[in-house]
Amino acid sequence: MPSFAHIVGHRRLTTLLSEAIVRDTLPPTLLFVGPSGIGKFHVARAVAATLNCLSPQSDHAGLPVDACGTCLSCDRIARGVHVDIFALEPDDRASIKIDVVRDVLERTGFRPFEGRRRVVIIRDADTLETASQNSLLKSLEEPPASTGFILTTAVPGALLPTVRSRCMRLGFGRLPERSVADLLVKEHGCSENQAVEAAALADGSIGQALALGSADLAVLRESAVMLLRQAAASTAAASRLQAAGVLVTTPSRKDRTREDVALVLRFVASMLRDIELLNAGVDTPVLANPAIADDLHVLTRAFAGSRAREAFSAVDRAIMALDRNAGTKVVGEWLAMQI
Ligand SMILES: [Zn+2]
C-alpha cells in the first residue's frame, strides 16, 4: 500500500517528507540516494500517494499527514495505473531510453488530469542514458507547474553532475537487521530463523535478503565457521590450504558455485564483525550471528588485536575479486593465506 505508515524503517526521512507536504515546502526535484533494495522507490510512491490522496490522514501513525492507502487515487497508484503518476524503470537491458523520457516529459506539458500533483518517479536513475539525462535537465531546472520529480539511485556518482546539482538529495541508510527480518516474516512468509539468518547477511537490504531465501544457509554458515577455525588453529601452509578447500568445496566435495562461495564469505565477514564486537568488550553485544555465539567466543582469542579487522578487509577484497570473475580456487587460496 502506498503510504508512509507502511514503510519499513527510514522514519526520520518519512517524517521530514510528510512535514514538507503539510507545509507545502516539498522541493519539486528530489534525489533519493541509498543502497538498493531498502525501499527508496516505496517511499517515492508514498510521497506521490500522499500528495494526491482523496482523504489524506492527519496525524497518522505519528506523521503530520499520510495517504489513506485505500481511496481511488491511492488504489490506482498501488496498481500503477494512476494517469498522473509516472514510474520510469530500467528496461530489461538495464537502461532507461531517451524516447521513454521524452514521452513522459511531453505529457507533463499539460495540467494533471485527475490528481493535484503529477509525480515522475525515476527508479535507478543511474541507468538513464546520457542523452536521457540531458533531456531531463530543463525540466529539473524549471519543473512544469504541479509536477515533481523523484529520482532514486544507489550510485549517485553515475549521474551527470548537472542532474545531481538540480535535485535536493536525501540519503537513505541501510535497514536494521531486525526490520529486515520482521518484514521477511510478515510479508514473505519466512520462518523466524530463516529470516534472522538472511537478514544478517543481507547488509540492510530487503532485496538482498529475498535473494538469499533459496540458499541452504545452515550448510554455508557451518563452512564459514570451519574456515575461521582452521585459520585460527594453525599458520602452517598445509592447514591454510585445507581452509581454502572448506571454502570452495561442499562437505560432499563438490565444487561450490561462485555465488555460494561469495555467501560463505559474507558469513565469514559478518562473523568477523561479531568477533570484533566481542573483543571490544561491549557489555551486551548485539551479534549478527547469535545462534553460533559459542563458536564466536572460542574464536575471539585467535582473532584478537587488529587481526579480525585485517581479516575482514581481506574477505572484503576476496568478495570483490569474485564479483570481478576471479576463479574461486585462486581467491580461496589467496584468502586462506591472508586471514
Ligand atoms: Zn488515499
Give the pLDDT confidence of 114-144 residue by residue, as tens digits: 778 999 999 999 999 999 999 999 999 998 8
Mean pLDDT of 178-202: 82
**Gap from CA of 52 to ligand 1 centroid (Å):** 7
- Is the pLDDT confidence value at 288 over 70? yes
**Gap from CA of 14 to ligand 1 centroid (Å):** 17
DSSP state of 82: -
**Gap from CA of 3 to ligand 1 centroid (Å):** 8
Question: Residue 149: which H helix or E strand, with range?
Answer: strand 147-153
CA separation for the pair 243, 246 (Å, rounded): 5
Burial of 105 (0-12, 13-18, 19+ CB in 10 A): middle
End-to-end CA distance of the chain, in Å?
Answer: 46
Locate cell 515533481: which residue? 148
CB atoms within 10 A of CB 153: 24
Report which of residues 334 and 201 the model is more confident about: 334
**Gap from CA of 39 to ligand 1 centroid (Å):** 20
**Gap from CA of 185 to ligand 1 centroid (Å):** 27
CA separation for the pair 222, 292 (Å, rounded): 9
**Distances from the Cα of 162 to the Cαs of 23, 89, 157, 167, in angstroms?**
28, 21, 11, 9
In tens, the pLDDT along 242-270 reads: 888 889 998 888 898 888 898 899 889 98
**Gap from CA of 178 to ligand 1 centroid (Å):** 29
**Gap from CA of 276 to ligand 1 centroid (Å):** 47
Outline where 202-306 has alpha helix (H): 206-212, 217-233, 237-248, 258-279, 293-300
Report which of residues 283 and 108 the model is more confident about: 108
pLDDT of the residue at 282: 78
CA separation for the pair 254, 107 (Å, rounded): 56
Burial of 142 (0-12, 13-18, 19+ CB in 10 A): exposed
In tens, the pLDDT along 305-320 reads: 889 999 999 999 999 8
- Is the pLDDT confidence value at 7 over 80? yes
**Gap from CA of 67 to ligand 1 centroid (Å):** 5
CA dihedral 295, 298, 301, 304 (to 10 degrees): 10
CA separation for the pair 301, 282 (Å, rounded): 15
CB atoms within 10 A of CB 108: 20
- Is the pLDDT confidence value at 215 over 70? no
In tens, the pLDDT along 131-186 reads: 999 999 999 999 888 899 999 999 899 999 999 999 999 999 988 888 888 888 88
Burial of 25 (0-12, 13-18, 19+ CB in 10 A): exposed
Please provide the average confidence, as pLDDT, over all residues in the chain.
89
**Gap from CA of 156 to ligand 1 centroid (Å):** 32
pLDDT of the residue at 108: 86
Cell triple for 83: 494517469
What is the amino acid identity at position 322?
Answer: L
